[in-house]
Chains A and B, each alone.
Chain A
Amino acid sequence: MSLLLEVKNISRNFGGLAALSGVSFDVSPGEIVGVIGPNGAGKTTLFNVITGFFPPKQGQIIFDGEDVTKLKPHQISRRGIIRTFQADILFRSLSVQQNVLTGLHIRSLGLNPKHIFFSPSPIPKSETGIANEILETIGLTQFKDYMAGDLPHGHQRMLGIGVALAAEPKLLLLDEPVTGMNMDEIRAVIDLIHTLREKGLTVLIVEHHIKTVMDICHRVIVLSFGKKIAEGSPEEVRRNKDVVEAYLGTETD
């Protein structure tokens, strides 16, 4: 079974600070891998490097056999790595449905001038249909026509996942998806990820919420101060002495 993602020896500095030092790990197709670590450990920086928003000072990212280290974010997205954002980044003045629609960009036929000017509806009905299906999957159908910026926080984050799903990811990168959610919403996200796991989607998830990570991940990687300090099954990691030390006083349940 070939590896989907290989992260090789990634280092990245900000000013004098080493945000990431020599981080390496692999992800196999169909796995759900969690990345945890105390604040400032470099988790989001890792995502930014993988998705091309920051170049690494050193190291390589291999996706599906191809070296994607130096590619631009939209090129990496086109190859199937889709991410969500830690901050609430949405198209706030567009409707919920429109937000999901934008996610269909890569496979859309709607950019063909023939379609823009000559078809009966400017946005292909098929695409609207797919968007509605995704809204069903994430449970936001009733908010279809609401402005994204008007949604409560938990729904906004769910919408962010919906937009990413619309882009048909091979590898989904979730950056702290359940931050600020209540227990019901977190349950919904966990169920969603279980469903996606059954469909064979590979997921890499950064999370603070340890319980979520333990619940859904096959494997967990622990970062601290930019270095990988542990890797293994959730149970192994939980019992790891170094991990407990790194988290001393900051364990979230």
Chain B
Amino acid sequence: MRTKKSTIILAAFIVLAIVLFTMPFVLGAYLLSVLVLLLIYILPAMSMRVSLLAGQTNIGVVAFFAIGGYASAILSLKLGVPVLAALLGGGLIAAIVGLLLGSVIMKMGDLYFLILTWGFLELVRSVAIKAVPLTNGPFGLVNIPPLSIGGLVLSRVPEYFFILFFTLLVLVLLYRVEYSRLGLTWKGIAQAPSLSESVGVNVYRFKLVSFVISCFVAGLGGALYAHHMGVLQPGTFTFLLATTVIIWNVLGGVGSYWGPIVGTVFLLLLVEPLRGLASFEMITYAAILIAVIIFLPGGLITLPKRLGPLIKRLRRKGETAKADAEGGGT
């Protein structure tokens, strides 16, 4: 059974890799940009997971997404920094702001932490609207330089591959972190902070590190977003978007590294065909959410585990039915 499962997973990965590599040549411009956005959004989704691992809900992930985007855009647009360096700069600035904010609000307890990171999001959006000389106010920044390597602007297909590899790189690094002692320490802190303290873990410091890394990854995602879209408006970074990022995590499953990825992909792909009909979009979204929560409490990622026994039961029923049919008449 074990080898069968790993072969299936390996096969799935290979198929996925083939799909991801051939998509840009198969899809039209619009659909490709949808895929690109999906890849970009995986970053804030995973950044939220990083903070959830340590037991904190960083609703403000979208605030750092915005900070990373604006920072990178301003660095490249107004200060002429090369785009790749600006990307990194966006992430770093988001991390530094996160460090400052985190050290202030982290001691207040998890619930207030949640509310205040959200308040911070409101603050960031309001500042983006008001600070016209820097951010061009409500109309936003336009003509943000597109992604380019060494001065060579990346056109549609190369841009896709850049974003694909960038996201994959971040995902691999986050995977290593989650399964390292750092990730283990975070998981311990989330479940039993006093036990962690008793074996020498500085809980405050580790939570802060988780928060800062979360802000860094969100900032990178925001920077990618800014350079891909070319425009950046404060109105994008709403409370609804922040809630959506949490939904991606919870729906996909908070118990697994793959949860946020599954959640993000599933929901974004779901929402796409409904894009024009706001009312139906919301109702369908709501219905699916409710269905998954009630029937798959561990998130979408637990679906294979749930299906397993169900399939076995159906197979057994089929076999008994067959046996009855064959043995009938005795």
Contact = CB atoms under 8 A, between A and B. Distances in A.
* A and B co-occur in one complex: yes
A73 B192 contact: no
Contacts of B183: 122
Interface in A6-62: 51, 53
Given A98-B184, A117-B173, A122-B179, A105 B200 contact: yes
Nearest to A103: B199
A120 to B, nearest CB: 11
B194 interface: yes
A102 B185 contact: yes
B275 interface: no
B181 A108 contact: yes
Contacts of A163: 195, 199
A90 B188 CA distance: 9
A123 B187 contact: no
A203 B101 CA distance: 42
Contacts, number: 98
Given A105-B200, A106-B200, A91 B195 contact: yes
Interface stretch (A74-82, A194-202, A217-225, A231-239): A74-82
B267 interface: no
Nearest to A173: B198
User: Which secondary structure characterizes the binding site on chain B?
Assistant: helix
A227 interface: no
Contacts of A102: 184-185, 188, 195-196, 199, 201
B275 to A, nearest CB: 38
B192 A166 contact: no
Contact of B198 (A83, A92, A127): A83
B195 A74 contact: no
Contacts of A84: 198
A93 B182 CA distance: 16
B191 interface: yes
Interface residues of B, number: 25
B320 interface: no
Contacts of A74: 196-197, 200-203
Contacts of B187: 91, 93-94
Contact of A53 (B194, B196, B255): B194
A91 B190 CA distance: 9
Contacts of B195: 85, 89-91, 102, 163
B181 A123 contact: yes
A77 B200 contact: yes
A240 B66 CA distance: 71
A146 B200 CA distance: 24
B279 interface: no
A82 B180 contact: no
A123 B200 contact: no
B298 to A, nearest CB: 12
17 contacts: A51-B198, A74-B200, A74-B202, A77-B199, A83-B198, A85-B195, A90-B192, A93-B191, A94-B184, A94-B191, A101-B181, A102-B184, A103-B199, A116-B180, A122-B179, A123-B181, A167-B200
Interface of B: 173, 176-177, 179-185, 187-188, 191-192, 194-203, 255
Interface of A: 51, 53, 72-74, 77-78, 82-85, 89-94, 98, 101-103, 105-106, 108, 110-111, 115-117, 122-123, 127, 163-164, 166-167
In order of increasing CB-CB distance, the 3 nearest A-B pairs are: A110-B181, A77-B200, A73-B197
